[in-house]
Amino acid sequence: MNTHLNEHGITHLRHVDLAVPDFERQRTFYKDTWGLTEVGTDGDLSYLAAEGSPEQYIVRLRKDAEKRLDLISFGSESPETVDALAQKLASQGIQLVNEPDKLQTAGGGYGFRFFDIDGRTIEISSDVETRAFREIEEKEAIPVRLSHAVMNSQDPNRTRDFYASVLGFKLSDTLWGEHMGEMMHFMRCNDWHHSLAIARGPHTAVHHVSFEMRGLDEYLYGTGRVMRAGIKKIWGPGRHHAGNNTFTYFLDPSGNTMEYTTELERLTTDQWHPHVYDIADPNTQDMWGIADPMSEFIARDSFNDPDRGVFVAPPV
């Protein structure tokens, strides 16, 4: 038995859906600069896939006057695990946005949505059709798959406890600072070091969304391409201690932070003991030592705007 399996049947991160006022500019950014493939549009929606991923899409953009996170979607093993989790959440008084049903979005499937403890809309789905995908070639500097999503929370310990106790996510590691306490919790639902992380922030918002590249070379070529396109680089290139993954962070045209990464750690044993890494140690943030030291100015870029979608379900 794979001991990495989530006890509630949650398998992996599927997609992150964003609402943006500058829809056309964002579409152009994700297609032409970031390296995603637009697989369909539907009115004010754009579905963007990664060439190396079987997911129908990994980012959905929606045109709206207000910028917000629409939802984060996680896969589930089966309709049975979807139903069981929905019943469990409802019995614990967690607000469901809708009951499990056939999904109307690209790829279909069966799922439901609910509000997490901070008011984010979370979708759990099974039986979504997969998309034809391919091996990413050498020097092809486009995302292979969606790696992880990091969310800002005013009370990261409370949010961590919700995902651990209610959704069965396991804590992989924590970043800690002498003056701020716990700064970030890395959570997993499979053997990847993290699919979700919770960062301490001044308000509920997207901290960053991360995209896995084929390897170091492709990660660096991609970093260079985005820099040459004039996109604001916040931080990187570097290599984190927690998760051992590389990082370069950029601001997309709406001010959401996006990351290129590669070589995120996979945990080979479930007897993993979470580490607490002190952010005062330069190696915690960047083991290579080539990125600028993390500063309050760098951190502020990823605080983002307060999310306007808290406890408000997206229209689609």
Q: Could you read off the pLDDT of 253-262 as tens digits, one per residue?
A: 999 999 999 9
> Per-residue b/e over 67-97, b at no fewer than 16 CB within 10 Å?
bbbbbbbbbbeeeebbbebbeebeeeebeeb
State how far the Cα of 72 lies from the Cα of 204, in Å rounded to an integer: 14
Q: What is the arithmetic mean of pLDDT over 109-133?
A: 98
**Taking the CA atoms of the chain, what radius of gyration do you get in angstroms?**
18
Q: Above 70 in pLDDT, residue 238?
A: yes
| Judgement on whether residues 31 and 166 belong to the same structural domain of the protein | no
Residues 183 and 37 in one domain: no
Beta bridge partners of 248: 260
Residues contacting 180, CB < 8 A, separation 6+: 200
Domain membership of residue 233 (yes or no) is yes
Residue 194: predicted pLDDT: 97
pLDDT at residue 297, rounded to an integer: 87
**Structural domain ending residue among the three candidates 71, 92, 126:** 126
In angstroms, the CA 117 to CA 72 distance is: 14
Contacts of 21 (CB under 8 A, 6+ apart): 63, 64, 65, 66, 67, 254
Does the pLDDT at position 53 exceed 50? yes
81 & 194 share domain: no
Tens-digit pLDDT profile for residues 3-20: 568 999 999 999 999 999
Do 295 and 150 sit in the same domain of this protein?
yes
Give pLDDT tens digits for 264-289.
Answer: 999 987 778 999 999 999 999 999 99
Same domain, 166 and 204: yes
- According to DSSP, the β-strands at 275-278 and 170-177 are parallel
Lookup: tokens for 246: 């590389």
Give the Cα separation of 209 and 257 in Å (integer).
7
pLDDT at 295: 87
Whether the Cβ atoms of residue 98 and residue 314 lie closer than 8 Å to each other: no
Q: State how far the alpha carbon of 108 is from the alpha carbons of 55, 83, 129, 140, 188, in Å.
A: 12, 16, 7, 30, 25
Residue 3 is predicted with a pLDDT of: 57
Please give the model's pTM, rounded to 2 decimal places.
0.97
41, amino acid identity: T
- CATH number of the domain residue 115 falls in: 3.10.180.10
- Say yes or no to pLDDT of 2 above 80: no
Same domain, 63 and 158: no
Mean pLDDT of 121-126: 98
**Which two tokens mark 36?**
């995603």
At 128, is the secondary structure helix, strand, or coil? coil
pLDDT tens digit string along 21-35? Answer: 999 999 999 999 999
Q: What mean pLDDT value characterizes the chain?
A: 96
pLDDT of res. 4: 65
> For 98-119, what is each residue's pLDDT tens digit?
999 999 988 999 999 999 999 9
Residue 30 has, within 13 A of its CA and on its CB side, a CA count of: 31
* Domains contained in the chain, number: 2
Same-domain status, 103 and 152:
no
**CA-to-CA dists, residue 304 to 19, 24, 199, 202, 297, angstroms:** 14, 20, 12, 9, 12
Do residue 94 and residue 158 come from a single domain? no
pLDDT digits (tens, 9 = 90+) for 61-95: 999 999 999 999 999 999 999 999 999 999 999 99
Element (H, E) at 225: helix 216-228
**230 and 271 assigned to the same domain:** yes
Range of the domain at 177: 145-301
| Domain endpoint, select from 96, 126, 156 | 126
267 and 149 assigned to the same domain: yes
Q: What pLDDT does residue 1 have?
A: 38
pLDDT of residue 262: 97
